[in-house]
Amino acid sequence: MVDELLFTTSRLEATTRLRSDDLNEQTIWALGNVAGDSTEYRDMILRLEAMNPLIALVWKFRVEFEVNSSKLRTVVRTLSNLYYGKPPPPFEKV
């Protein structure tokens, strides 16, 4: 469990440090899956400040909806996973 958590943390840190333009759909999908697995992982992603790059992508893909509708759906699904769960996420992080 500790090894898995360390691996996940290092991957998330590397991923969320990327500029939002560099995040590809598979990375966004993976973040959503990790966030949906447990509230512990969800909160870890929120602590790494993944919200701002994801919200920036919503605005970008909304403008380019005809071209990037699949990416927009993936980002929205990931954001919903970051809001999901009990206990709810810390308000200041969302």
Predicted structure pTM score: 0.72
For the stretch 11-62, pLDDT in tens is 666 655 555 555 678 888 888 888 898 898 888 888 888 888 888 888 888 7
Residue 77 pLDDT > 90, yes or no? yes
Cis, peptide link before residue 90, omega less than 30° from 0:
no
What is the model's pLDDT at position 1? Answer: 47
What is the model's pLDDT at position 2? Answer: 46
Q: What is the mean pLDDT of residues 6-11?
A: 59
